[in-house]
Structure 1
Amino acid sequence: MQFEVWAPQAERVALECDGAVSALQRDPRRAGWWTGEAEARDGSRYGFALDGGPVLPDPRSRRQPDGPDGPSAVVDHSRYAWQVPWAGRPLPGAVLYELHVGTYTPEGTLDAAAERLDHLAELGVTHVELMPLCPFPGRHGWGYDGVAPWAVHEPYGGPEALRRFVDRAHARGLGVVLDVVHNHLGPSGNHLPSFGPYFTDTHHTPWGSAVNLDAPGSDEVRAYFVGSALAWLRDYRLDGLRLDAVHTLVDTRALHFLEELSAAVDALADEAGRPLFLIAESDLNDPRLITPREEGGLGLHAQWSDDFHHCVHAALTGESQGYYADFARAPLAALARSLTHGYFHDGTYSGFRERHHGRPLDRARVPAYRLLGYSQTHDQVGNRAQGDRLAAQLSPGLLACAAALVLTAPFTPMLFMGEEWGAGTPWQYFTDHTDPGLAEAVRRGRRREFAAHGWAEDEVPDPQDPATRDRSCLDWSEPEREPHAGLLDWYRRLIALRREQPDLTNPGLGDLRVAHDADAGWLAFRRGDVRVAVNLGPKTAAIPLGSRPVRVLAAWEPVGEPGPDGLLHVPGESCVVLEQD
């Protein structure tokens, strides 16, 4: 079997495979690369020793059976016999469902999560978005401190379990998207600096030195991350990738890394004959991110829309701390602007940032599905001091209103696991660092962060306590009882309406019309012949719809026909979706 590794600063490289040691030779065709042959099979353990140092795992390891610091294992992808022919599911018209494997079930494995796929198919979502799967120290964690970006976390089941999960999802018509982290690795278990200039001090990020995308040696680093992305899509038949915090990928080259990555993914899609897509998390509100390459953009297919989330959250909860301050001054007006403009901050002044922020979307050219809309995500729940969901503070009626806003807005909807039944379990920040010093630093940092906002030390869960993870696991008995069952049925009805009503998947941002009354607490918008009225206030609101006849498509609380004055009376903390002739 052929082995290879990029180690441009090494004077000699040895391969240790199943206990046998052999010297690798410099590759005369590729600077910095070392290659060699050795007897190996699927599962063989191996690693590389540089200049007589310790044996380290392969930077391109497909499997780390003993964790990030152990030897790598050979993975023969050809051994798996795929059961389901799959033509793919495109992003337009999609409904995504964000899922953390380690807390979706108490078992916390891919196989256990696969046993719950029928729930998602019946819910009506189209894609499962898995939070990061790369290996990280310990058993339980969010996954954003992973290393080995070509491998699958062994406690989740490793590569074979991921293939089984994807196969079973595809059998139910569900696409699979994976959250990947290119902006940092580790810190614990990250051996890349031993091999080459994977990081640079030219730029800095919240996690330290930046990934090297533009300094000397960056050609191979860029190829490393592009290759990892393509491997997920090709070897595991994934349908798309979510790219974590792309605003921290500092790249001063004329050809930006994200443009290079999007071109490579589009080429793979053409080769594979099925749609593939990239969804960015970005804090920039820069439409160039989701503008096609041929039009001068970076060519990513969509991005998370935190502006929409912040508008919805501020309108529902009244919270105004931190970045919510920009949206809480006039939350319904902010929500109306987000619905019609995509970004709320599109060159406007941000008091939170104390500067202007963003750039306008070309609403005539950018389809609305390129923005993802949501009321909850792992970030927005888990980064709260106690990991409390909206269900912890809102009535079932307001939760129904949140669902209506997300699932009838022009954006691609995304749900966070358990949201669909108003899960009573929190989703807290938890880690399982094996380095005692790092574990204590994370614990202290978490408490210090929230102490600045008035939280007592004993009110902030200990990330390293196994009970913190256990509390975050979904309770699968909840969907069977009220009020959870009623909310779950509401989500199912709204998702079904998206399939049945073409107006609800109309990609035009400029076609939406919004009205609102801040004093009464209601907002209504029109998408073609579909009308959506959301009353966040405690009292019945008279919402003007006009004199044309209407047909109720879905209502949280019973509503009558509009009167001769064209006013529809919507109960407090309720919502309705109608079709108007």
Structure 2
Amino acid sequence: MQFEVWAPQAGRVTLRCDGVTRALERDPEREGWWRGEAEAHDGSRYGFALDDGPVLPDPRSRRQPDGPDGLSAVVDHDRFEWSAEWSGRPLPGAVLYETHVGTFTPEGTFDAAAERLGHLVDLGVTHVELMPVCPFPGRHGWGYEGVSLWAVHEPYGGPEGLKRFVDRAHALGLGVVLDVVHNHLGPSGNYLPQFGPYFTDTHHTPWGAAVNLDAPGSDEVRAYLVRSALSWLRDYRIDGLRLDAVHALVDTRARHFLEELSGAVDELAADTGRPLFLIAESDLNDPRIITPRGNGGYGIHAQWNDDFHHALHTALTGESQGYYADFARAPLTALAKTLTGGFFHDGTYSSFRGRHHGRPLDRTRVAAHRLLGYSQTHDQVGNRAQGDRLAGLVSPGLLACAAALTLTAPFTPMLFMGEEWAAGTPWQFFTDHTDPELAKAVSEGRRREFAAHGWAEQDVPDPQDPVTRDRSCLDWSEPEREPHARMLAWYRQLLAVRRDQPDLTDPDLADTKVAYDEDRRWLAFRRGDVRVAVNLGTAPADIPLGSREARVLAAWEPVDAPGADGLLRLPAESAVVLLQE
């Protein structure tokens, strides 16, 4: 078997494989690369030593059986026998479901999560989106401090466990999306800087030195990230990738890294005959990210739309701290703007940032499905001091309104695990760092962060306490009892309506028409023949729909269709979806 590694600054590289040491030779055709042959098989343990240094894991390791600091292991991807016939499931018309493997079930494994996939099928979602699965220290964590960007966290089930999960999802007709982190690596177990210039001080990010996308040596770093992404899509048959915080990918080259990545993914899609896609997390409100490459954009297929979330959250809760301040002045006005234009900040002044922000979307070129809409995500829940979900902040009626808006808006909807039954469990920030000093720093830093905002230290959960992870696990007995069962039935009903009404997956963002009353707290919009109305107020509202021959498709509270006067009389904290006959 041939082994290879990029180590441009090393004077000597040796391979340690199954206890045998061999010197590698410089590759005459690729500058900075070393290569050599050794006897190996699936499961063989190996690592590389640079000059006189210790044996380190392979930067392109496919498996880390003993965690980020241990030796790598050979993975023969051809050994896995796939059983599901799968031709893929595209993004247009999709409904995503974000989940964290370690808390989706108490067991916290791929196999245990796979046993719950039938729930998602019954719910009506089309794709399950996994939060990051690369190796990280300890057993439990969010996954955003992972290392070994080609490998799978062993406590979850390793490479074989992920393949079993994907195979099961495909057999049930579900696509699988994977969250990947290219903007930084975790603080523990990151050996990339010892091998080469994977990071650069030319730019800085919230995590320190930036990933090297444009400084000397960046050709190989970009190739490293692109090939890692393609490996998930090819070797694990993943259908799409969610790219974490792409605004932190600082790149001054003429061809942006995102454009290069999207081109490579589109080529792989053409080769495999499967629809593959990329979804960016970005707070830039820059239309170039989701504009096709042929039109001068980066060609990313979709992006998270936090503006929709922030407008909806402030309308529901009245919160105005931090970035919510820009939306809280007139939340229904902000919500209406996002429903018709995608971005709220499209060149407007942002008081939170102290400057103007964003740029308008060209609604004639950008299909509505290229924006993801959601009322909750792991970030918006887990980054709260106590990880409290929306269900802990507002009434069931307002939760029903949030669901109606999210699942009938022009965007690709995404749910966060458990929201469909108004889960009573929080989702808190938790870690399992094995380095005592790092563990202490994380615990103290979390409490200092929220102490600055008035939280008492004892009220902020300790990320390192195992109980913090345990209380964040979903309680699968909840959907069977009230009030959770009613909310679950509401989500199922809304998703069935979305599936049955073509107007709700119309890609024309400009076709949405909105009316609202900021003072009386109602909002209504039209998409083709479908009418959606929500009353966020505490008193019934008369909403002038101007529609007479309308039929109720779904209603949180009993409601009659509009009368001869065209008025919809909607109960307080309630939502309805109607069809114009």
Residues 453-509 of structure 1 show CA distances to partners (whole Å, capped at 9, x for unaligned) of: 110000100000000000000000000001100100110111111110000001111
1:346-357 matches, within 5 Å, as 346-357=346-357
* Alpha-carbon distance in 2 for matches of 1:308, 1:221: 34
- Cα root mean square deviation, aligned: 0.6
Q: Which runs of 5+ in 1 are unaligned?
A: none
* Alpha-carbon distance in 1 for matches of 2:561, 2:395: 25
Partner of 2:240: 240
- The amino acid that maps onto 1:265 is V
- The amino acid that maps onto 2:284 is L
How far the C-alpha of 1:516 sits from its partner, in A, is 0.4
Deviates more, 1:225-234 or 1:442-451: 442-451
How far the C-alpha of 1:563 sits from its partner, in A, is 2.2
How far the C-alpha of 1:564 sits from its partner, in A, is 2.2
- The amino acid that maps onto 1:225 is L
How far the C-alpha of 1:518 sits from its partner, in A, is 1.2
* Alpha-carbon distance in 2 for matches of 1:98, 1:158: 20
Partner of 2:69: 69
Partner of 1:489: 489
Partner of 1:280: 280
How far the C-alpha of 1:190 sits from its partner, in A, is 0.1
Partner of 1:9: 9
Give SS of 1:560's match.
coil
* Alpha-carbon distance in 2 for matches of 1:322, 1:246: 21
* Alpha-carbon distance in 1 for matches of 2:152, 2:470: 22
Residues 50-106 of structure 1 show CA distances to partners (whole Å, capped at 9, x for unaligned) of: 002100000000000000000000000000010011100000000000000000000
- The amino acid that maps onto 2:274 is R
- The amino acid that maps onto 1:509 is L
Partner of 1:330: 330
* Alpha-carbon distance in 1 for matches of 2:407, 2:50: 53
In the superposition, the TM-score normalised over structure 2's length comes to 1.00
* Alpha-carbon distance in 2 for matches of 1:533, 1:283: 29
* Alpha-carbon distance in 1 for matches of 2:218, 2:561: 64
Partner of 1:139: 139
Asked if structure 1 preserves the Cα contact closer than 8 Å seen for 2:10 and 2:50, the reply is yes
Partner of 1:162: 162
1:147-158 matches, within 5 Å, as 147-158=147-158
How far the C-alpha of 1:548 sits from its partner, in A, is 2.6
Residues 342-387 of structure 1 show CA distances to partners (whole Å, capped at 9, x for unaligned) of: 0000000001111000000001110000000000000000000000
- The amino acid that maps onto 2:258 is L
* Alpha-carbon distance in 2 for matches of 1:541, 1:548: 17
Partner of 1:570: 570
* Alpha-carbon distance in 2 for matches of 1:514, 1:226: 41
Partner of 2:19: 19
How far the C-alpha of 1:547 sits from its partner, in A, is 4.4
Answer yes or no: is 1:555 the counterpart of 2:555: yes
Deviates more, 1:76-85 or 1:546-555: 546-555
1:420-439 matches, within 5 Å, as 420-439=420-439
Partner of 1:539: 539
Give SS of 1:510's match.
helix
Asked if structure 1 preserves the Cα contact closer than 8 Å seen for 2:5 and 2:58, the reply is yes
1:101-116 matches, within 5 Å, as 101-116=101-116
Asked if structure 1 preserves the Cα contact closer than 8 Å seen for 2:132 and 2:180, the reply is yes
Asked if structure 1 preserves the Cα contact closer than 8 Å seen for 2:63 and 2:75, the reply is yes
Give SS of 1:128's match.
strand
Q: Which runs of 5+ in 2 are unaligned?
A: none
Matched residue count: 581
* Alpha-carbon distance in 2 for matches of 1:414, 1:408: 11
- The amino acid that maps onto 1:416 is F
* Alpha-carbon distance in 2 for matches of 1:418, 1:425: 9
Partner of 1:53: 53
Deviates more, 1:377-386 or 1:546-555: 546-555
- The amino acid that maps onto 2:416 is F
* Alpha-carbon distance in 2 for matches of 1:562, 1:472: 43
1:85-100 matches, within 5 Å, as 85-100=85-100
- The amino acid that maps onto 1:205 is T
Partner of 2:226: 226
Give SS of 1:320's match.
coil
Give SS of 2:510's match.
coil
Runs of 4+, deviation exceeding 3 Å = none
Partner of 2:447: 447
How far the C-alpha of 1:246 sits from its partner, in A, is 0.2
Partner of 1:129: 129
Partner of 2:419: 419
Partner of 2:268: 268
Give SS of 1:299's match.
coil
Asked if structure 1 preserves the Cα contact closer than 8 Å seen for 2:62 and 2:151, the reply is yes
Partner of 2:459: 459
How far the C-alpha of 1:288 sits from its partner, in A, is 0.3
